[in-house]
Amino acid sequence: MKVCIIAVGSELLLGQIANTNAQYISRVLNEAGHHVLEHIVVGDNPERLARVTKRALAQYDAIIFTGGLGPTKDDLTKQTVAEVMGKELVMDQSALDYIESYFVAQDRVMTPNNKQQALVIEGSQVLANRVGMAPGMYVVYEDTHVVMIPGPPSEMRPMVDNELMPHFAQSNQTIFSEVLRFCGIGESQVETELLDLIDAQTNPTIAPLAGKHEVTIRLTASGKDTEACKALIEPIKAQILERVGDYYYGSDDLTPEQAVMNRQSASVAVYDAVTDGLLHARLKQADTCHLLKGYMLHHDSFLQSDVTIEENLRIAAMFVQSLYETQQAVSLLAVGQTVYVGFLDGSQFDVKSFKMATQRNLMRDRSQNYVLIEWLNWLK
């Protein structure tokens, strides 16, 4: 089905909270083979809500509303939707009994406005709220599936999983995505390298996206099940990695530092004249095997004018290797716009380099992922 999610609440438009409900519902529906085509956020205004509801009813197979089902005056979702559909609100006795029992159990007096939460659209199937008080609703209106669920995530998620998804589980298609992660390469270069694949995409689709000092490529396939989707993704993934695999560090939620430490098998120390210790801090978070023994910030004594930058790197690496008694060492130095990275393993010493903007923050921050991808490739 083609689905629209409408989140209701002025607090979303004011930036007071994030619309995590739409994110969660989109993921669940896509995994079930449905296509979420639009997210809409509208404030607590019945005229605007009515307008977007009428448009969505004309365009989509299903509409899912979140929020606006509570007891206060600005909770107007079901009232507005009912009016658009020409239906009445009726009291659901089971929901009312549940709400009243809640207040009895809490030894609190129930104010009259709480009864509003037990009103449901006539002809709808009530979706039980086993965490909060306001029930959800599911109704088919002129071939459009209309769903209303509470806004609080603690109520929304169990209702979606346990009450809503049985109505949406009839699809014979599954949608599955794998996110390929790259660093040390820009989005424009990735797109240039993969332009013919992007132009020819069908199933799976290919979507490059620039992140903070990295690039991701989302491969999304549809098939009868997850395994079928993975089979469709695999050959396209192989073609992509054949072209830009030197910058690939992993998929989905993996971070560059996790990729490095997952492959690191020897004790190591870092000499850092570029990132002010930020590289070490990231690696330490991912160092589950305690192989990263320490680091040292730059001191001018390690820059000798009468030797090459490569020799300076080797001296710095040997120093931290000896200081922390490690098997390997990595040293970072910058000269002008060039960052140099030295990798020491016993008597073997390798040097990599890359260009970087000389502004201090860019050099310090952007260099980290470039260093990590060089480190990962050295380990490979």
Tens of pLDDT, residues 203-233: 998 988 887 778 999 898 888 888 999 999 9
d(CA 215, CA 267): 30
Domain segments of the chain as ranges? 2-167, 174-254, 261-379
Instruction: Write the pLDDT tens digit of every residue in 344-372.
Output: 998 899 999 999 877 767 789 989 999 99
Please check the confidence at residue 304 and state whether its pLDDT lies above 70: yes
CATH class in words for 261-379 = alpha beta
pLDDT of 111:
85
**How many Cα atoms occupy the beta-carbon half-sphere of 62 within 13 Å?**
22
- Residue matched to tokens 């009259």: 112
Region 147-157: what's the mean pLDDT? Answer: 94
Fold of 174-254: Alpha-Beta Plaits (3.30.70)
Across the chain, what does the average pLDDT equal? 91
Instruction: Please tell me the pTM assigned to this model.
Output: 0.66
Instruction: Write the pLDDT tens digit of every residue in 245-276.
Output: 999 999 998 999 999 999 999 999 999 999 99
Instruction: Write the pLDDT tens digit of every residue in 23-81.
Output: 999 988 887 878 899 999 999 999 999 999 999 999 999 999 999 998 877 779 999 99
Fold of 2-167: Molybdenum Cofactor Biosythetic Enzyme; Chain A (3.40.980)
Instruction: Write the pLDDT tens digit of every residue in 3-17.
Output: 999 999 999 999 999
Among 176, 170, 241, 245, which residue's Cα sits nearest to residue 204? 176
In whole angstroms, how large is the CA radius of gyration of the chain?
A: 28
Q: Are 43 and 80 in contact (CB under 8 A)?
A: no
Do the domains 261-379 and 2-167 match in fold?
A: no
